[in-house]
Amino acid sequence: MAQHKDFVNNLYKGKEHFENSIFDMGWDEIVQGAAVFSFEGEIDHTVVNVHPEDRNVAETNSQNKYVGDWRVIKPVWNVDICIDCQNCWLFCPDSSIVSRDKEMVGIDYDHCKGCGICVEVCPTNPKSLIMFDEHIKNEDALTQWPEKKQKEEK
Amino acid sequence: MAREKAKRGKVSMYRNKRQMELNSVEVWDGNFANSHALRQASVDVVSAYPITPSTGTVEGYAAHNANGYVDGEMIMTESEHAAMSGCIGASAAGARAATATSSQGLALMVETLYQASGMRLPIVLCMINRALAAPLNVNGDHSDMYLANQSGWISIDACTPEESYDLVLCAFRIGEHLDVRLPVIVNQDGFLTSHKAQNVRPLSDDQAYDFVGDYKEVNSMLNFDKPVTHGVQTESDWHFEHKAKQNAAMMASPKVIEEVFEEYAKISGRKYNMIETYKTEDADIIIVCLGTTYQTAQVAADKMREEGVKAGVLMPRVFRPTQLDMLAEKLKGAKAVVCMDRSAPGGQTGLLYQDVAAALFNTSARPLLSNIVYGLGGRDINIENLKSIYTHAKAEVDAGKLDGAIQRFVGVRGPELKYYSVEG
C-alpha cells in the first residue's frame, strides 16, 4: 500500500491531499461504471463566474492531474514584451495560459503539453512567448531572448 | 421542453402517450413480440441497424413509431457498432435504450458490448441467434450467443415469441435495478422463434409499463447539476477494482432476476426460473440445451419415458451469469448428462459442457458427461434425432462408460466425428 501511495503522490504533485482518496478505495466504494465527477457535490450555473482555481473540483477532475511531463519543449513568457493581447489565452487548446482581468499572469506548466500554438499566435516583435528546451531554466531562457527584428529597407 | 425534463433529472418519466388495444391472444412471431415489448416499455432511444433475422424487431418497432405509438427516438445508424454506440450514448445521457441484432451484427458490436457493461448501462439487446460466417448463413445457431459469453451482459434465453416478449419486459426491470445496472441480452432462435408466428398473451400497455416502471437514472450526463464523465481511462490503478465491482453486480443479479420473475408471474401467470427443467427430478438421462431444442427435447423425453427410459431436459434460462450451484442441484441425481451445444466449438468443448462440468466437479455426483455439437447453421434437430441421443446415452449408462469420446458431432454428413477420447 505504501508503494501504491508513492505512485499516487507522484501523479498528484503539489496538490493537497484528499480525504478518502479514490486511490485508497476498494472495489465496493468506487463509483460504478467508472463515471467520474468534475466537482465535489452539486453545482449551479454561477460556477462560470468562479475562477478555475477557486472551484470546488473533485479529486478526479483533470485540474488535479499533473501532465507536465508529457512536454519536451516549453513556452517561456517574457513579461517585458507582452502586450496582453490575449491571443495565446484564446488559442491555447489546454487552458494553460493563465490570465486575469485581461492581463496575462503566466503559464500553467502542470497542464501545458508544449504544443507551441501560443508562440505561433504571439504578435509582438520579438515574440513574448518562445519555445525552449524543457531542461533550460526560465531565467536562463530570458537572457537568450532575441533582439527586435528590423525591417529591411526597400 | 426536453431541457426542462432533463433539468429535473427525469428524462423518461413519461410512458408513451398513445396506447394500443391488444387482443388477449395475439399471433406474433418472435420479432414482432419483441417490438411490442419495446413499445410497451416506452423505450426512449432505439438505435439499430438491420440484420437478418433480427430486422423484424426493429421493423415492427419502426411501424409502431410511424403510427404514432412511440414517443421515443429511433436512430438508424450506419453499422451495428454505431447502433450499440448510439444506445450507449443515450443510456449514459439518462435514457432507456434498446436495440436488436444477430450474428455478424453482434460480432461487429462486440467492442461496444464491453463498453456498455463496463459503463454499467442497462441497455436491452434483443438477440435473434444466427450462425456466424463463414460460410455465410442466416439460420439459427448459438454462436452469437456464445460470442457474448464473457461480455459482462446478463444473457437470458427464450424459446417462443411469448417467452421473448415476457423476458424483454423483465430484462428492463432486471438491468435497471439499482443493485444490478447491467445490460441484458434476450436471446431467441433465428427463424425457429423469430419468424414463426405463435400465440402470445400480451399484457395491456398500462400493465406492462407499470411493471417495467419509470427509468431510474444513475450518474446521467443530462444531470447538469452534477457534471460527469463516462468512459474514462483507469489503467492499473483502478481498472481491477472497477471490473471487480462490475462482476460483483453480475454475481448478485440472480437474486434480482428471481424477484422480477416472481413479480412477473403474479401479473402474467407465467413463471420463469433461473434454470428450467422438464421431468429431471427422477431422470436417469438429462439433456442440457438452449433455445427451441429445449421444447423438442421435452417431446423426445416423453417418448423415451413411454419406452421406459427416465429422460429429462434442462435449460439454463439465464445463460449468464452461470448458476453452478443450481445446475449441480438439478443434475446430481442423473446417471448421464448430455450437454448439447449449438455452436462450432472452435477446438474446445461447448460452453454448456464446460458449465455443467464445472458445476458437478466439486460435488460427489459423477454422471457420464458428454458433449454433443449439433444443429450448426440451422441444421434441423427433430424428435427422432433427440431420441437417438437419449438412446445413445442409455447405452452408455448400461455400459457404465462413455462411448469412446467426450465430444460427438451429431447430424453432420460424412465419417463420424468424435473428440477427447476417454478410457472406460
DSSP B249-260: HHHHHHHHHHHH
Q: Are the Cβ atoms of A38 and B238 closer than 8 angstroms? A: no
Q: Could you give the strand order of the β-sheet that contains B311-316, starting from the edge strand earlier in sequence?
A: B275-278, B311-316, B285-288, B336-341, B368-374, B405-410, B418-421
Contacts with A, B 146-175, CB within 8 Å: none
- Pairwise CA distance, residues A80 & A82, whole Å: 6
Could you say which of B205, B239, B268 is where a domain stops? B268
- Distance separating the N- and C-terminal Cα atoms of chain B: 73
B250, B287: one domain = no
pLDDT at B11: 44
Is the Cα dihedral B44, B48, B53, B58 positive or negative?
positive
pLDDT at B332: 94
B77, B106: one domain = yes
> Mean pLDDT, to the nearest integer, of A36-45?
88
% of chain B surpassing 90 pLDDT: 92
Domain with residue B281: its CATH number is 3.40.50.920
- Pairwise CA distance, residues B371 & B351, whole Å: 10
B74, B174: one domain = yes
Q: State the best of A27, A38, A45, A55 to mutate against chain B, taking most chain B CBs within 10 Å.
A: A27
Q: Are the Cβ atoms of B241 and A7 closer than 8 angstroms? A: no
Among the partner-chain residues B120, B229, B246, the one whose CB lies closest to the CB of A36 is B229
Residues 6+ apart with CB under 8 A from A106: A77, A98
pLDDT at A45: 83
Q: CA-nearest residue of chain B to A37?
A: B228
Q: CA-nearest residue of chain A to B118?
A: A33
Domain with residue B154: its CATH number is 3.40.50.970
- Pick the closest to residue A38 from B183, B91, B230 (CA basis): B230
Which residue, chain included where needed, has cell 432505439? B46
Residue A35: phi and psi, rounded to 5, are -70, 135
CATH 3.40.630.30 describes domain A68-143 = no
Domain count, chain B: 2
Residues of B in contact with A42 (CB under 8 A): 225-226
Residues of A in contact with B252 (CB under 8 A): none
- CA of A71, closest CA in chain B: separation in Å? 20
- CA of B118, closest CA in chain A: separation in Å? 6
Measured CA to CA in angstroms, residue B263 lies from B208, B275, B318, B330, B341 at distances of: 12, 17, 17, 24, 31
Max CA pair span of chain B: 73
Measured CA to CA in angstroms, residue B414 lies from B136, B390, B402, B406, B417 at distances of: 21, 22, 22, 19, 9
B208, B164: one domain = yes
- CA of B183, closest CA in chain A: separation in Å? 12
Residues 6+ apart with CB under 8 A from A90: A121
CB of A32 within 8 Å of a chain B CB? The answer is yes
Q: State the best of B239, B245, B246, B250 to mutate against chain A, taking most chain A CBs within 10 Å.
A: B245
Among the partner-chain residues A7, A26, A32, the one whose CB lies closest to the CB of B181 is A32
Q: State the best of B117, B181, B226, B240 to mutate against chain A, taking most chain A CBs within 10 Å.
A: B226
pLDDT at A12: 40
Residue type, A92: C
B95, B216: one domain = yes
- CA of A9, closest CA in chain B: separation in Å? 13
Residues of A in contact with B232 (CB under 8 A): 34-36, 60
B223, B239: one domain = yes
- Distance separating the N- and C-terminal Cα atoms of chain A: 71
Task: Count H helices and E strands in chain B, helices first.
Answer: 13, 17
Contacts with A, B 101-140, CB within 8 Å: 118-121
- Is residue A150 within 8 Å of A109, Cβ to Cβ? no
Q: Each residue of A2-25: pLDDT tens digit?
A: 443 343 344 444 445 566 777 788
Among the partner-chain residues A23, A31, A39, the one whose CB lies closest to the CB of B227 is A39
B293, B260: one domain = no
Could you say which of B218, B249, B268 is where a domain stops? B268
> Which residue range is the domain that position B413 belongs to?
275-421
pLDDT at A14: 42
> Along chain B (424 residues), what's the average pLDDT of each consecutive run of 10 residues?
47 75 96 97 96 96 95 94 97 96 96 96 97 94 95 97 97 96 97 96 95 92 91 88 96 97 97 97 97 97 97 97 95 97 96 97 95 96 96 96 94 96 79
Which residue, chain included where needed, has cell 462560470? A48
% of chain B surpassing 70 pLDDT: 96
B239, B353: one domain = no
Q: Which three cell numbers stand for residue A118?
A: 501560443
B377, B401: one domain = yes
Q: Are the Cβ atoms of B120 and A33 closer than 8 angstroms? A: yes
Q: Where are the domains of chain A?
A: 2-64, 68-143
Task: Count H helices and E strands in chain A, helices first.
Answer: 4, 5
B289, B387: one domain = yes
Among the partner-chain residues B230, B237, B249, the one whose CB lies closest to the CB of A35 is B230
- Proportion of chain A in helix, strand, coil states, percent, rounded to 5: 30, 15, 55
- CA of B230, closest CA in chain A: separation in Å? 5
Average pLDDT value over all residues in chain A: 85
Residues of A in contact with B248 (CB under 8 A): 27-28
Residues of B in contact with A10 (CB under 8 A): none
Among the partner-chain residues A22, A28, A37, the one whose CB lies closest to the CB of B245 is A28
- Is residue B77 within 8 Å of B86, Cβ to Cβ? yes
Indicate the pTM of the whole model: 0.88
Among the partner-chain residues B119, B121, B225, the one whose CB lies closest to the CB of A43 is B225
Q: List b or e across B145-154, with b for residues whose CB sees 16 or more CB atoms inside 10 angstroms.
A: bbbbeebbbb
B250, B383: one domain = no
Q: Which three cell numbers stand for residue B215?
A: 427509468
Give residue A52's pLDDT band: very low, low, confident or very high (50, 70, 90). Answer: confident
Question: CB B381: neighbour CB atoms within 10 A?
Answer: 23
B197, B279: one domain = no
